[in-house]
Structure 1
Amino acid sequence: MIVAERVLNRLAEQDRAAEPDVAAVVPIPARVAGRAVLLLPHRGEAGDEAAPPDDYRTILAIVRDADGPVQVRAVGARLGLDTSARGRLEPLRAKMTKLADRGRLHKRGDGRFTARS
């Protein structure tokens, strides 16, 4: 608990020292527990904070364009991924599950996904 408090205090100090304009654009180099790390800034007011990153938006568009529930393999094929081995689709499955957990997709019991209306 004490270590976490020290880390948070150190991060807060570094955040206060950074220029606001630069922090909104560029990751800030910092040191935590003696190791170099990059602090990623919060999204700025210019962009929509609720909007997912580009790859997630592409997945959402593919699922919405489908006529019905889609399998991860079908989305992977549309993205140009190698669908011959199941293991190659696991990162995509994780992204689609994350979208479902956040309420943007619906994961059915059979493992297929549909768009939330």
Structure 2
Amino acid sequence: MAERVLQRLSEQIADEQAEAGASVVQVAGRAVWLVPDRAPGVAESALPAEYQRILAAVRQAAGPVAVRPIGEVLGLDTGVRGKLEPLRGKLTKLADRGWLHKRPERAVPARL
């Protein structure tokens, strides 16, 4: 049983590596996508396919976006918060690397 699971995981990692090209590396035995910093000469095509899909969904919006509407465009189950958290992480990563601009969060008034 464990051998089958290991085989399926190995196949999945190989498929992800083939899809993402050099954008996947091994860290602690896990496949991890590399998202490069946005810089002159770095094309959007350098991003893994999933991140390119996210950028395309953000572009379709008329203005600032939230995670839930982007999840809906991408076909995610937006009724379950846990399904949106990986997308939130990817959006944050894209913002941290300069591919997206993050709006400052609104300050919540302190309660006394």
State how many pairs are aligned. 70
Residue pairs, 1:3-42, within 5 angstroms: none
- Same amino acid, percent of matched pairs: 58
* Structure with the largest fraction of strand: 1
Runs of 4+ aligned structure 1 residues displaced above 3 Å come to: 37-40
Question: Aligned residue for 1:89?
Answer: 84
CA RMSD, aligned part only? 3.0
Q: Which moved more, 1:91-100 or 1:79-88?
A: 79-88
| Bigger radius of gyration | 1
Which residue pairs with 1:52 in the alignment? 47
Q: 1:86 and 1:38, CA in 2 relative to 1: closer, same or farther beyond 3 A?
A: closer
**Runs of 5+ in structure 1 lacking a partner?**
1-24, 26-36, 41-47, 112-117
The two structures have a TM-score, normalised by structure 2, of 0.53
Quick one: distance in 2 between partners of 1:105 and 1:96? Answer: 8
Which is richer in helix?
2
Query: What is the identity, as a one-letter code, of the residue corresponding to 2:87?
Result: L
TM-score (structure 1 length as normaliser): 0.51
User: Can you give the 5+ residue segments of structure 2 that lack an aligned partner in the other structure?
Assistant: 1-20, 22-28, 33-40, 107-112
